[in-house]
Amino acid sequence: MIKRFAGIRCAVALGTALALSVAGCGGGASHDSAKPGQPPAAAEAVLVRLASSDTALARGALSAPLASVLAGGRPIPPGSHLALDTSGWRQTGRFANATGTLALPGSGPQRIVVGFFDTDLGWKVTFLAQAT
């Protein structure tokens, strides 16, 4: 499903069908976390790239499936700021999500959830959605 909120183009890929279709991509259980924890620095660095003014760098932070469904250009408006909560990281194998905030230019911070996939090239963003 693709949806727009507060000026951001988002693709949200959730549900059992997706989980089953990528089940073979899972990783080792050594990184699993049932309780929220500190996000890895590499995942936080992906958000810095996502907010970059360099379009290629920003799009490079997206997973290939997400990049393929979003129109070209920057995924979020210039001047936006993304930050993950210090204890909002949850990971199972190569998949993770984290809570955080997104501040768009001219508006206050919004609560968000960011999905991640640990590729062979590092963490990539798989979805960005408003937290409910």
Q: How far apart are CA 74 and CA 37, in angstroms?
A: 29
pLDDT tens column, 83-94: 999 999 999 999
Q: Which residues lie across from 11 on neighbouring strands?
A: 2
pLDDT recorded at residue 128 = 93
DSSP characters over 26-66: ---GGG--SS-BPPPHHHHHHHHHHT-S-HHHHHHTB-HHH
Query: How much is the pTM?
Result: 0.75
Average pLDDT of the chain, as a whole number: 80
What percent of the chain has pLDDT above 70? Answer: 73
The tokens describing 114, both together, are 């960011």
Residue with tokens 């089953």: 20
Q: What is the mean pLDDT of residues 103-117?
A: 95
What are the structural domains of the chain?
Answer: 2-130 (3.10.450)
pLDDT tens column, 8-37: 444 333 322 233 223 334 444 445 555 689
Please choose, from the candidates 99, 85, 89, 97, the residue with its C-alpha nearest in 3D space to the C-alpha of residue 130. 99
